[in-house]
Every structure is written in C-alpha cells, then in structure tokens.
Structure 1
Amino acid sequence: MRWLRTAVAALFMSVTVGGGTAVAGQDDLFAYRRSAVEVRELSVEHRDGVVVRDITYAGPGAVPVRAYLVEPERRGRYAATLYLHWFEPGNPTQNRTEFLDEAVSMARRGMVALLPDLTFPWQDGPVGDQTDRERVVRQVVQLRRGLDLVNSRPGVDPGRVAVVGHDYGGMYGLLLATAADARRVRAAVAVNVDPTFSNWFAHFFLDLGGDATIRYEKLMEPVDPVRYVARGVGGGLLYQFSEPDFFVPDATRRALVSVTAEPKTYRLYAGAPHELPGEPARAERSTWLAGRLGLS
C-alpha cells in the first residue's frame, strides 16, 4: 500500500451542499439545516483502481467526524453507500474499518462509499435520561450530513444511494432509511439489529429493571427503529441475522421482520457469531446491493 501524506491545511477542501435551508426527514425529529460540509483530507491511499481518502467532515459548529471516503479512480456514474459499523468494546473492527475492504471491493464495481466513525454509544455511554434520545438524534443528523457529502461527489447518482449497518450501526441505518432520509436512501442492509435502543441500553449499560425500564422505554420510543420500519424502504431492505444470537433472540428479530414493510429479504446464518464475519454474509450482501443499485 502506498500512502501519500500531506499537511491537513494543504489538503483542506470545502463542499457546499444546499443553501442553508432547513431539511426535515419524514419526521421533524431528525430535521437539520443543510449547509456547507467542511471536509479535511488527511491522507490518500491508492488500491488497484480505488482511492481511499482518510478524511474528517463536519457541518457548521459541529465536531468533525473521522471517516473513510472510498471512490473509483476512473470517472463515471456511480451508486453510493454509507457503511455504519458495529459496537463491540475492545474489538479492532468496531469503527470505520469494519466494512473498509468490502467498500473497496464494491468501488471496483462502481460505488462511492462513506465509512464514518460513529459516536454514540462508542464515545460516551447512555446515562438514562433525555440526553440519550438527543444523542441518537444528533448521530442521525451527523449521518444525514454524510449523505450530503456523498451526494456531492462527482458522478454520484442520487437515485442510487444505500446504507449498510451492523448492530447499533444497523439501527442508525434503519432510522436513516425509513424515518430521517427515506427520500434519499433507496436500499438498506441491517445486520444483527435490535428493534429498540432502550433494550440494549437498559440491559447492558444502565442495569435498569421494573418501572425504571418501562419509563426508559417510553423515553426512547420516538427514536426506536421498530417505530418506522412499517414504512419500508423503496428499493428494498435486507436483514441479515446470526442464529442463534445472544444479543438478538429469535422472538425479537421475528417481531422486527414481521412489522417491516415489503420489499424485504430475511437471511439467517446458522452458527455465526453476532460479529457475522466473512462469507457467505458478505457475498450475499454485496450481490443484493449490486442488484438494487445497478452495479456490474
């Protein structure tokens, strides 16, 4: 691999997307003001016809997001995908690197990809009050700005945009595709997701029980993916689940899939861990995306 590193200031570029107007999702909960997306390019790697840019991006006044921007070197008309990673403390793939090799492979088939580092609950865990819901909303808005960025890249076809997410990343992807940005997301892949944020937060972070759990579930309900999946995703939604999975029991995943609108595809991988690494899940995901986005 050949890295071309230069000073951040020298590689600064600013992308203006929209004219500073307020942009709602299907729900005003996820509304934001579309304006300039500031992108700083930190380094560039060339991988056999693909450019991998190590960048940060941010909206006005926002904390910069570290991300990989993966693009074909040749000029053309491209699909685009946001890849959103999982949460697993101590695991080296619980960040923007999780889907990087996959994104490079898809770039060779005509796809631009953005792989951001997610922040909640990676940087700060839930605290059990209104702050948790607000942080979920802020994360979704941060990802909407990521969509602004990929749609502004040369050659990207705004009608062929998808989101792929795993674990919490998949839950954020579902919110993008069904609630916040359904008009811009054509297809979605959700890997080992839970229907609600309150389930994992209450059990694994907050150790809640009884009435406290009920109150917290009510608090988080407006941002739960299960609230929106009945709207569906226009170009289709692919669910990929490990079987069995300690974190997503059979009854939980069946309930989520059952309320999800068509078109949807449901795949189980017997004996696979929650991480769901490697084949055949990756191959099925890539084939499914290629079909929905018109890739070669």
Structure 2
Amino acid sequence: MPTYRLFSLIFLAISSWLTATAQTSELPLHLFSYDKTAPLAFTDSLIGTQQGVHIHKVSYASPVKGRVSGLLFIPSVKGPFAGILLQHGAPGTAMNQTPRGVYLARHGAVVLATNAPFAERGGDPIQFTPADSVEQVTYMINLQRAVDLLISRPDVDPNRLGYVGRSHGGAMGALFAGIERRLKTYILVVADGGLIAHFSSEKGELSDQVPLTCEQRKRWIAAMQPIEPIRYIHRAAPASLFMQSARQDEAVSTFAAEQLQKAAPANKVIKWYDAGHRLNTQSYIDQLAWFHDQLGTTAPGPDDQKGPDFPDAAAPKKNP
C-alpha cells in the first residue's frame, strides 16, 4: 500500500475516533490534576497606584514547571472583595491588561492577571506542534493555582469569584469553565472554540495559515482535539456565562463564535456588538454590569462611560 494511502487511512481512523470521543462526556480531565498541597511560593512587589488601585507585580510556583508571573490589582479601600481572573489574548501579556485590571478593581474586586505559558517563554504563541497541547494543559493548571492564590487572600470572598478573558483568553475561559468548579461566573470575550476551531473553515478544514504538512497536521490535531475548549464548555454549569461577540470581527468568524455559543449550557447570556475584534466601550460597561449582578461589585457609573484608560493602540493583529 502506498505510504500516502496509509497516512490517509490512519488520519481518517484518528479523526473518526476523535469525533466519536468528542460527542461523549469522556473527557481527559485527569490531565489537569495537580498537587493542591504544594506551596504557592508567592512573591509580591508594589509597583504603582492608579485611580485608587494598587498594582502589584506577583509570581507563584507553577505545579508543572517554573513560575507564573502576572499583575495583581487591589482596591485601596477595605474589603472583602470579589476575586476576578483577567486573561489576555495571543499574543499578549498580563502587563497589557493594566487598563482593564484597574477598570475592574475600582469596582470592588481583587483582579489577578497572569501570563499564559507562551508569554512566559516568548516567541510565537502558537507553534503548531504537540507542544501547544502541553502548554494548554499547563495553562489550565496554572489558572487553577491562580484560584488557589485568590482564595488564600483574606481580602477576597471565596464565594464571589469570576473570570474574564478576551480572544485566546476567552477560548481558554471556555476550557477552564469545564475544569474549575469554584468560580461563579465567566465572561468570554470574542472567543471561539479553541485553536483548531480558530484555524479551521466551516467545513472543518485547516486554513492555509497553518504551515504544516499532512503528517504534521495529523499530529497537531491529535494533540489538540482532546483539550479543545468547545468540548468542555457544556460542563460550565452551574457557573453563569456572558458571551460577547463582534459582528465585524476580523479575527474570529461568526460561525466559530456561534458554534461555541451553541455548545454552552443554558445558563448563558449572549450579546453581539456592531464592532470589530477589539469590541467597543459599551462591551466594557456591560462587563462591569455583569460582575455587579453576579459577584456584587459596584455598578458602572458616569466615570466608566469612556471605558478602560487604554493608550493609543495600533491596528489590531489578526491573532486569537
């Protein structure tokens, strides 16, 4: 049998198995287990104050490897506060989230923004090798540890925990919602179903943006499919979901956004905005209102109408 024919049969067999597995509740949740008793080894350094919010550079030990760095935003008034995880897109870093972290923290939340594993190592965020799968699992474990960190703080109410992530951070939130059971609510901003969904057409074919041979594509899909976020989001309940999408999104297709929305459980609110991938000011006000309803933070007021205090930005890049 010719080699190309053998590869084709193997690929079809793997695809059939993955499709069947994706339609069941048998998910490899064991991949995301970690030692909850390991010390956090937390470090903390105050680096500034903005609009009554103290900004700290922080790090903690990863249960997998090395350390996780990020920023912690703490209101200057007395708590206890809600606790919110704030996750960046790809490419991106926790530092990029400073305007959003301040914007949220001013309303009575301790906000923790951590660096994804690709931000810690530098270079291209997506490698299109099985290493992407390893990093995604590491990311989920590191985020669970971030929840441990928030809960360990005496100024955080463990019953008022939430998550907000945009683009790649939104997709990772869909996966995290299927793993982590301690959060009350998630805001998924311009999210799709994961890396495979992001780089696939409506027919399920990988885009030409993926610079791989047939064999390399097979290996990458086999590594990523078991942990594709769209397979996990149905487990988000009883946590609530607020899903924000853009009608003119240049990075996430309407089809991909809708597929994730359809896979989500009933306890969700979906809102579409007449905007591009960066969304608009109203989307940030809506996030404040959502956390007010779900976590008891303060409601948005007149000072919030202009949105986070972002610096002038260049045209957005078409990355997840």
Both proteins in one fold, TM over 0.5: yes
For residues 49-105 of structure 1, what are the alpha-carbon distances to aligned partners after superposition, in whole Å with 9 as ceiling and x for unaligned? 3211122222367322221111122332211000001124xxxxx221343223223
- Of 257, 265, 273, the match for 2:261: 257
Aligned equivalent of 1:138:
138
Q: TM-score, normalising length from structure 2?
A: 0.74
Match of 1:87 in 2: 90
C-alpha distance in structure 2 between counterparts of 1:261 and 1:97, whole Å: 32
2:315 corresponds to 1:287: no
CA-based RMSD? 2.5
Q: Superposition pairs for residues 45-84 of structure 1, below 5 Å?
A: 45-59=48-62, 62-84=65-87
Number of aligned residues: 263
Residue 241 (structure 1) aligns with: 245
In structure 1, the partner of 2:230 is: 226
Choose 206-215 or 168-177, whichever is displaced more: 206-215
Where does 1:92-103 land on structure 2 (aligned, <5 Å)?
94-103=92-101
* Separation (CA, whole Å) in 1 of partners of 2:284 and 2:208: 28
Query: How far has the Cα of 1:114 moved from its partner?
Result: 0.3
> In the alignment, residue 42 of structure 2 is paired with which amino acid?
V
Q: Give per-residue Cα distances to partners, 1:3-23, cap 9 Å, x unaligned.
A: xxxxxxxxxxxxxxxxxxxxx
Matched position secondary structure for 2:40: strand
Cα 1:265/1:153, change in 2 over 3 Å: same
2:133 counterpart SS class: helix
Say if 1:45 and 1:252 are closer, same or farther in 2 by CA, change over 3 A: same
Which secondary structure state, in structure 2, belongs to the residue aligned with residue 139 of structure 1?
A: helix
3-state SS of paired residue (2:116) = coil
For 1:204 and 1:145, the matched residues in 2 are separated by 36
User: Per the alignment, in what secondary structure is the counterpart of residue 66 of structure 1?
Assistant: strand
Shift of 1:26: 8.9
* Structure 1 gaps, min length 5: 1-24, 89-93
Please give the alpha-carbon distance, in whole angstroms, between the structure 2 residues aligned to 1:59 and 1:206. Answer: 30
Query: SS at 1:221's partner residue?
Result: helix
2:42 aligned counterpart, secondary structure? strand
Query: Any conservation in 1 of the 2:129–2:216 contact (CA below 8 Å)?
Result: no
Deviation at 1:168, TM superposition (A): 1.1
Compare CA radii of gyration and give the structure with the larger one. Answer: 2
Bigger strand fraction: 1
Residue among 187, 190, 197 paired with 1:189: 187
Q: Quote the Cα distance in structure 1 between the aligned partners of 2:242 and 2:277.
A: 16
TM-score for both structures, normalised by structure 1: 0.80
The 1:245/1:211 distance shift into structure 2, 3 A limit, reads farther
Change (3 A) 1:290 1:129: same
Would you say the 8 A contact 1:177–1:186 is kept in 2?
Answer: no
Structure 2, gaps ≥5 residues long: 1-26, 200-205, 299-320
More helix by share: 2
Q: Are residue 30 (structure 1) and residue 32 (structure 2) matched?
A: yes
Q: Distance in 1 between matches of 2:45 and 2:94?
A: 15
Aligned residues of 2:34 and 2:63 also touching (Cα < 8 A): no
Alignment partner, residue 9 of structure 1: none
